[in-house]
A and B are shown apart, each in its own frame.
Chain A
Amino acid sequence: MRCMNQEDGKLDKVAITGIGMISSAGIGTEPVLGAMTSGTHFFNRQAEKKRSLHPKFPWPEASLEQPDVPWPAGAAWADIKKYANQAAHQAVAVSRMAMEVSGAAASDQAALRCGAVVASGSRTDELSPLIGKLGAMAQTDPRPLAKLLYDEVPDYSYLRGIPCQSGQFICLAAGFLGSNVAVYGEAGASGLGSLAFALRLVQSGELDRVIVTAVGIPLPPPMLVAFDRHDPLGLEARPGRGPFDVNRGGTLLGHAAVAVVIERDDIAKERGAPRLANLLACEAVNATGRNIALDMATRMVLEQSARQPDFWWAHGAGSIAMDLTECEAVHPLVKAPATSSKGTIGNTFESAGLVDLALAVEALKSKQVPPIGLLETPDPALGDVDFVMKKARQLRATSNAALITALDPRVASAGAAIIADIGE
């Protein structure tokens, strides 16, 4: 098994060769960056407003315009559609977008060295709304509970809920045959845990190319209520209620799906793939406290990349506690302009870290860091962080690296990544 370059012991250089994204702003990264720059946001603006406009649903949401994305055409795909839930549809859609950029595997042999990693939450998007109805039915139905569930739970529901199932579809769409695994939320660092995992697969020589996919679907009400009790969710999406603001009121909800393809740089170069950026380092850490986890993850990526970033794409959850933790952990280590997407498209949980990485890749290319949505007055308790406000910040032409950080709600895990211009 090849593990690192044999001659010098150095880890392989890794390129990002594909990105696909669907968010409340639309398809791709451009609409999000454009909205951030123009000060637009997407809370409660979509056609799909069932939850967020319901009078008793207290939290604004940045939902997808069209949550039901089309399933690929063809007989093979029609046969397996019954095994795919809504999240799988979105995962396949963004993966195909990313693969359009990255390009197909050159041969069957190459396909064996390509795989998938899926960032997953500990929940299903299907059973939660169904279980109450079945529980009510069970109160009067004469059938034993097991028989009732056998009869009434839709066929293949269990299989649709398997976290790594999306990965099999993604591999089918990408033509990858190497391996597939899901990384759950507890150590997921909003998707950066999956990216760190994928990076190890490439750097260890197990695979040459990995597609990392994450879908942040609407959280079921019980989980939202639990999150809200632990750390209040944002009740208002208006100026002054965004990340890092002194008047921020909590995380604003968002939904998104994202796929990022990473690949050994020499192989990407050899096959003429578009190399969008280099992924220099990515780590996710669990600890007894989120501050310890983020401090450790940030130190690790700074050391591994041997780079001081030119800007910091922060998680910026908008939560009073998490923003404080993030600034206390990162600001002592990194002095760079900071931005966040959460005031524009909300916190997309499992996919948030990957969404931010994808946005940072584009920002790095354009040498322009967009401002933080809904941020009016930075919280002085956060220290003298150089938040990008109101208008985009132009970077120097020599700027070439970005730090991305991410945190998990409720659990003490955090992730960090450093990307750099491909010229590096």
Chain B
Amino acid sequence: MKKKIVISGMGVVTPIGDSVESFWTSNLQGISGLRLEDRMDLSALPCGWVSATVPEETKKVIKARWGDSNQAWGDILMHTAVSQALDDAQFKGGLKRPAGLMWARVWPGPSGSFPQDYVDFMKSAGERYLTAGNEPGDVVAYLREKQEEERLEASDLSAFPTELSAKLGVPLVASRLDATCSGGLRCLIEASRLLQMGKADFVVVAAVVSRSNHYTLSQYAQLMALSRWRGPAAQASMPFDKRRTGMVINESAGALILETEEHARARGVKQHYAELGGWGLAIDTVHLTAPRVDMVERVMRTALEQSGLAPNQIDTVNAHGTSTRLNDVTEAKALHRVFGEHMQTVDVCAVKSLTGHGSAASGILETVIASLSLCRGIIPPVTTCTEPDPECNVRTSLTPIHRPVANVLKNSFGFGGQYASIVFRRPESARP
């Protein structure tokens, strides 16, 4: 790698914090965003009764700030996170070339985490069916008379890149990506590629997920991927704990500003959150949903090799840690293969223990935590891992760990055989 790529700004909206500082504090204090999802009747589902959504108070503030808008809620969340990140990066305009945008918006559906919106959508769709049936010609004729439902489905197409282009004052080399739950990390990697290739000097990375509604929960329940924990909701996501039963669906948005160190310096920004190291990517063609140890091992080894680091130079692993039976043990086995005896000294962080799983957005939120660990020398606890799974045998802590952190390895995996791993280094001049 020839150019130093740095993270110069960060922004988040999460169930446990609507700013980077509040999110960090919640992580250190073990404050959970998981709640019993009592806004809809999920009692007949075999799993998935808990979710982690952005608190109503936070939503009210965002909505008030945003005003009356036709934009999809996911786009509003993403704009909120991006605005934070741009402010944090001390961005004041003046870009002289096209900027980059790598983004992921999970759940291109007719509502976000607003169950009543989904009920209304289904009611509207039902009325359409009862009136016009399913014959496309009749549906078209019906929809031409109506406005509402088409607006909802058409909102799948996002104007986010156009709006961001206006905000930054330059055109964008942009890609909206889907790499399932590794999508956030993939966006980060592709942003780095744009910078390395000189296609841009300044790249916005953003991801959002907002889908805690009847449809998404029912479909993940079909897959039996969600937590079946019957105890306190805050304990429902417990990566690497022997009682884990599945993941918790989350609502969140995250944004990062990536630029070449040279570009940041030219803007007068000299302190950064992290420097990007190497990465590993892989596609598995053996299984659709189940992770495989050798694939996880492969992407981690590639990330280390591309970074020029030996395993014993990694201080902490920011794990994918979904709290599903299979993911956590698979990730843990691969970690043991790669790190060997060094695993006894590697502290493992699993942010999803408090936030639940935000699919592509998770990769961004967890990068925020990994970056702050580098800057501040603190690794957040995994407070829900109170009965560590001996089969996983990874080193988690119930309290924050204070230690110098020079290098973090971050993992993200996803359905469809998606695997990504990346190394973050402590920048020469870290943000306080």
Q: Once A and B bind, how many residue pairs between them come within 8 Å at the CB atom?
A: 285
Residues of B within 8 A of A204 (CB): 193, 196-197
Q: Mark B242-282, 1 if CB is under 8 A from A, else 0.
A: 00000000000000000000000000000000000010011
Closest to A140 in B: B126
Give A94 to B70 CA distance when docked, in angstroms: 38
**If the complex has contacts A164-B179, A204-B197, A286-B174, are A135 and B45 also in contact, measured as CB distance less than 8 A?**
no
**A112-167 with Cβ < 8 A to chain B:** 115-116, 120, 122-123, 128-129, 131-139, 143-147, 149-150, 153, 155-159, 162-165, 167
Q: Please, what's the 1-or-0 string for B153-191, where 1 marks a CB less than 8 Å from any CB in chain A?
A: 110111111100110000111111111100000100010
Contact A162-B415, Cβ < 8 Å, known A136-B130, A222-B153, A410-B157? yes
Check if A190 is an interface residue, CB within 8 A of chain B. no
Residues of A within 8 A of B417 (CB): 168, 171, 180
Of chain B, the residue at the smallest CB distance from A120 is B178
Chain A residues whose CB sits within 8 angstroms of the CB of B429 once the complex forms: none
B139 CB contacts on chain A under 8 angstroms = 132, 221-222
B137 touches A56 (CB 8 A): yes
- Chain A contact patch, size range: 35 or more
**Does the CB pair A226–B285 fall under 8 Å?**
no
With contacts A116-B283, A135-B126, A182-B177 taken as known, whether A286 is within 8 angstroms of B161 at the C-beta atoms is yes
A145 and B150 in contact, given A167-B283, A186-B176, A412-B162 (Cβ under 8 angstroms): no
A179 to B108, CA, bound (A): 23
A3's contact among B1, B126, B171, by CB below 8 Å, is which?
B1
Residues of A with C-beta under 8 A to B135: 54, 56
CB neighbors of A among B68-127 (8 A): 98, 101, 108, 118-119, 121-127
Known contacts A147-B44, A180-B283: A139-B126 contact under CB 8 Å: yes
Contact A411 B161 (CB under 8 A): yes
Q: Given A133-B134, A149-B214, A158-B222, A183–B122 Cβ distance below 8 Å?
A: no
Chain A 14-56, CB within 8 Å of chain B: the 1/0 string?
Answer: 0000000000000000000000000000000000001100111
B residues less than 8 Å from A134 (CB atoms): 122, 125-126
Partner of B119 from A122, A131, A145 at Cβ < 8 Å: A145
Give the complex CA separation of A159 and B224 in angstroms: 13
Find residues 310-327 in chain B having any chain A CB closer than 8 Å to their own CB: none
**Contact present for B282 and A177 (CB under 8 Å):** yes
Assess whether A398 is interfacial by the CB under 8 Å rule: no
Task: Say which residue of B43, B177, B217, B223 sits within 8 Å of A181 (CB atoms).
Answer: B177
User: B404-432, CB under 8 A of A: which get 1 and which 0?
Assistant: 00000000000111100000000000000
A222:B222 contact, CB within 8 angstroms: no
**Cβ of A128: which chain B residues have Cβ within 8 Å of it?**
153
- How many residues of chain B get a CB closer than 8 Å to chain A's CBs? 88
CB closest chain-B residue, reference A218: B136
Asked if B138 is an interface residue, CB under 8 A from chain A, the answer is yes
Chain B residues whose C-beta falls within 8 Å of the C-beta of A168 in the assembled complex: 283-285, 288, 416-417
Complex alpha-carbon distance, A179 and B127, angstroms: 43
CB nearest to B166 among chain A residues: A288
Task: Tell whether B290 is near chain A: CB-to-CB under 8 Å.
Answer: no
- State whether the Cβ of A1 lies closer than 8 Å to any Cβ in chain B: yes
Q: Which residues of B contact A3 (CB under 8 A)?
A: 1-2, 196-197
What are the interface flags for A404-422 relative to B under an 8 Å C-beta threshold, 1 for contact and 0 otherwise? Answer: 0000001111000000000
Chain A residue with minimal CB distance to B193? A204
* Residue from the list A4, A56, A150, A197 in contact with B138, Cβ < 8 A: A56
| B219 in contact (CB, < 8 A) | yes
Q: Does B376 contact A (CB under 8 A)?
A: no
* B342 at interface, CB cutoff 8 A: no
Please, how many angstroms separate the alpha-carbon atoms of A11 and B197 in the complex?
Answer: 9
Minimum CB distance partner of B221 in chain A: A150
**Could you say which of A51, A146, A182 has the most chain B C-beta atoms within 10 Å of its C-beta?**
A146
Q: Do B180 and A162 touch across chains, with their CB atoms under 8 A apart?
A: yes
Interface mask (B203-239 → A, CB under 8 Å = 1, otherwise 0): 0000000000011111111110000000000000000
Q: Determine whether the beta carbon of B162 is less than 8 Å from that of A144.
A: no
Q: Is the CB of B98 within 8 A of A285?
A: yes
Min distance, Cβ A247 to any Cβ of chain B, angstroms: 23
- A229 nearest in chain B by CB position: B150
Contact B172 A153 (CB under 8 A): no
> With the chains together, A139 CA to B124 CA distance in Å?
10
- Given the contacts A149-B214, A204-B193, A285-B98, A183 and B177 also touching, CB distance less than 8 Å: yes
Q: Which residue of B lies closest to A58 (CB)?
A: B140
- The verdict on A135 contacting B127 (CB below 8 Å), with A147-B218, A184-B178, A296-B98 known, is yes
Please indicate the chain A residues that have their CB under 8 angstroms from the CB of B119 in the complex. Answer: 145
The CA of A222 and the CA of B134, in the complex, are separated in Å by 12
Q: Which of B8-16, B59-67, B141-149, B328-336 contacts A (4 or more CB under 8 A)?
A: B141-149
Q: Of residues A51, A133, A150, which shows the largest number of chain B Cβ atoms within 10 Å of its Cβ?
A: A150
A-side contacts of B223, CB under 8 Å: 158-159
A-B residue pairs in contact (CB < 8 Å), sample of 21: A57-B140, A116-B283, A122-B156, A122-B157, A135-B128, A136-B126, A136-B127, A144-B42, A145-B118, A147-B41, A149-B215, A153-B222, A165-B416, A168-B283, A179-B281, A180-B283, A184-B178, A187-B175, A204-B193, A204-B196, A227-B154
Which 9 interchain pairs have the tightest Cβ spacing? A135-B126, A132-B129, A54-B137, A226-B154, A56-B137, A57-B137, A135-B125, A158-B219, A144-B41
Q: A133-B129, A157-B219, A171-B283 are in contact. List 4 more A-B contacts (CB 8 A).
A: A132-B125, A162-B416, A165-B415, A285-B173
Please give the residue numbers on chain A whose beta carbons come within 8 Å of chain B beta carbons, in ascending order. 1, 3-4, 11, 50-51, 54-58, 80, 83, 115-116, 120, 122-123, 128-129, 131-139, 143-147, 149-150, 153, 155-159, 162-165, 167-168, 171-172, 176-188, 193, 196-197, 200-201, 203-204, 206, 220-227, 229, 283-288, 292-293, 296, 410-413
